[in-house]
Amino acid sequence: MQHQTNPLTMPDGFSLFSQMWSPDSGVAAKGVVVLIHGLGEHSGRYGHVARYFTDRGYIVVAPDHRGHGRSQGKAFGYFERFSTIVDDVHELVKSLPSTLRGLPLYVLGHSMGGLVSLHYVIRYTPRISGLITSAALLDVGEGLNPLVTGVLKQVGNIAPKLGLLKLDSTTISRDPKVVAAYDGDPFVFRGKISARVGVELAAAVDYAKHNLSKIDRPALILHGAADRLVKPQCAQIIYDGVSSKDKTIKIYDGLYHEILNEPEQVRVMDDIYAWLKVH
């Protein structure tokens, strides 16, 4: 496997960290997988995923979102606008070398990255060969009283960086080594999710739910049945909402939020690979 880092300058001047993993030289690439990570984490946590797919002939490209990982800048764990995160993915895809543009392109988004992926396909209608979501975040703000929502919006404007909620790391995986690595990773944000980020996510979820029918690309929708961070029902919402005629849903019994970091991760990646081969 070959690896390189690619800092990209966004239209507003922000330097976005990204990296690319490629098959060994001499191996013809079968396609490109753009991997979009979740809230608070970073692309470096997916090196094992990249190795699995490069061993099978795929190139994997992944950014660190603004406020995350090596793109944290001055505001670790924070971003002003969710739409900017989506725009960054669009710019990343546009920046791919011309030698890769004839290859099948797939987007794989986990958790908030799944929500980003949905927005990317809805807003930019890229001619991708497939969309894959892993525990896509689609339940922020669900069931909140409109009055509470209004107050949160005000807080998000007045004190945008006020911390409201910290994620429980024990919910990400049943593997204690994964949890320990997550808690000890200096590039993982372990503070409280800010008011502005929470408001932006709630609005992004609402937009995605009302525009899922605009997605007509082949879709593979994955979720762990024992996920306590994002309700497994979110997968069904996506499946029912997209207009794709070619769509598949898989709910894994007993798996927590990070299905690509569970003890059964190879089974999950095998399922993704089997799907890629026919798309």
The active-site residue out of 111, 117, 134, 194 is 111
User: Distance (Å, rounded) from C-alpha 16 to C-alpha 9?
Assistant: 6
With b for 16 or more beta-carbon neighbours within 10 A and e for fewer, the 42-53 pattern comes to: bbbbbeebbebb
| Termini Cα distance of the chain | 23
Which amino acid does the sequence have at 99?
A: T
Whether 253 is a known active-site residue: answer: no
If you search the block for the tokens 């003890």, which residue do you land on?
A: 263
Q: Are 260 and 268 in contact (CB under 8 A)?
A: yes
Exactly one of 88, 227, 244, 279 is catalytic; name it. Answer: 227
Annotated catalytic residue 210: no
Let me know if 227 is a catalytic residue: yes
The residues assigned a catalytic role are: 111, 227, 257
